[in-house]
Amino acid sequence: MHTPWKNLTDNTPKTISKLYWLIGINAVVFLVTIVYAPADVNLRLPSNLPALLAHFWSPVSYLFVHDGFISVIFNLLWLYWMGQLFESYLGDDRLVGIYLLGGISGAVLFVTVFNLVPGLSGGGLISGASASIVAIVVATATLLPNVEIRLFIWPVKLKWLVVIYALFDLINFYSLGYGVIVAHIGAALFAFLYIKQLQKGTDWIMGITNLFKHRGPLKVASKNPLKQTSTRPRQDEVDAILDKISKTGYESLNKGEKEVLFRASKNEN
């Protein structure tokens, strides 16, 4: 017998998307730092090497710490919007990977620059999910540069969204601080290189993930997880898919439509 409760549970996803876990962790850490101020300082990323060694967890923890309510809301909205698009095409394991490895790459460049470039001393502390979000935006735009999303009321191609994001960094250079800008550059470089390697058949993120997974029977698989066929799709087919995205969003596409879109993006690069 099908009761309303059974119908509800049957239609409820059995697992929660890892995107929502990332958003939830950011929100919880933000609340903790409000209640317990010392956690805020201890979780931020210092450029000073002795301080970094004493806070060895900070290259990861700084990605979940925010300066204020406006900062956390702004970052989590971007994470939700762009994370959905990235996740729908490459999956939530890669989303978590690009979030962490992109942010860590930003941390590495930040610490390196402030300790090796003459004339730069200190650099203070940096925090926030923005480096990870930059990595997600750049990765998605590198994969699907000509896919349009709606920015407020205007349709914008993802490749131009990266330019807009970069201009935003330049405009807010002094308020963000050059330490944050350096971290953004490191995250963007990692994301760009990751997608380029993925398109060639090398998946850094899943390669790391698979090290910690139980290995079952050996299976023969395609070297390139994205490469299905090199045939250029018809333009009317691409136009129909882009029209569907503008009306119902990228998440409404099925697997075949995403594959067509990906092949079109490779031919247009």
**What is the distance between the alpha carbons of residues 159 and 190, in angstroms, rounded to a whole number?**
16
Put simply, whether the predicted model's pTM sits higher than 0.85 gets the answer no
Q: Mapping DSSP to helix (H, G, I), strand (E, B) and coil, where does residue 193 land? A: helix
Kindly give the pairing relationship between strand 148-151 and strand 154-157.
antiparallel
**What is the distance between the alpha carbons of residues 141 and 162, in angstroms, rounded to a whole number?**
7
pLDDT score, position 214:
59
Q: Mapping DSSP to helix (H, G, I), strand (E, B) and coil, where does residue 34 land? A: helix
pLDDT score, position 222:
47
Angle at 31 between CA 29 and CA 35, to 5 degrees: 115
Question: How far out from the chain centre does Cα 111 lie?
Answer: 21
Could you tell me the CATH number of the domain that includes residue 151? 1.20.1540.10
Are both 40 and 149 inside the same structural domain? yes
Number of domains in the chain: 2
Alpha-carbon separation of residue 98 from 26, 37, 151, 193, 203 (angstroms)? 16, 29, 23, 11, 11
Are both 243 and 110 inside the same structural domain? no
Asked whether 127 and 65 are in contact (CB, 8 A), the reply is yes
Quick check: is 169 in a domain? yes
Are both 235 and 194 inside the same structural domain? no
Are both 249 and 170 inside the same structural domain? no
Residue by residue, pLDDT tens for the chain (269 residues) are 444 444 434 444 446 789 999 999 999 999 999 999 888 889 999 999 999 999 999 999 999 999 889 999 999 999 999 999 999 889 999 999 999 999 999 999 999 999 888 776 556 899 999 999 999 999 999 999 998 888 777 888 999 999 998 998 888 777 778 899 999 999 999 999 999 999 998 999 988 877 766 555 545 444 455 554 456 677 777 777 777 776 666 667 777 777 777 776 665 54
pLDDT score, position 104:
98
Are both 55 and 175 inside the same structural domain? yes
**What is the distance between the alpha carbons of residues 227 and 193, in angstroms, rounded to a whole number?**
17
Are both 244 and 167 inside the same structural domain? no
User: Can you say whether the dihedral through the CA atoms of 199, 204, 207, 209 is positive or negative?
Assistant: negative
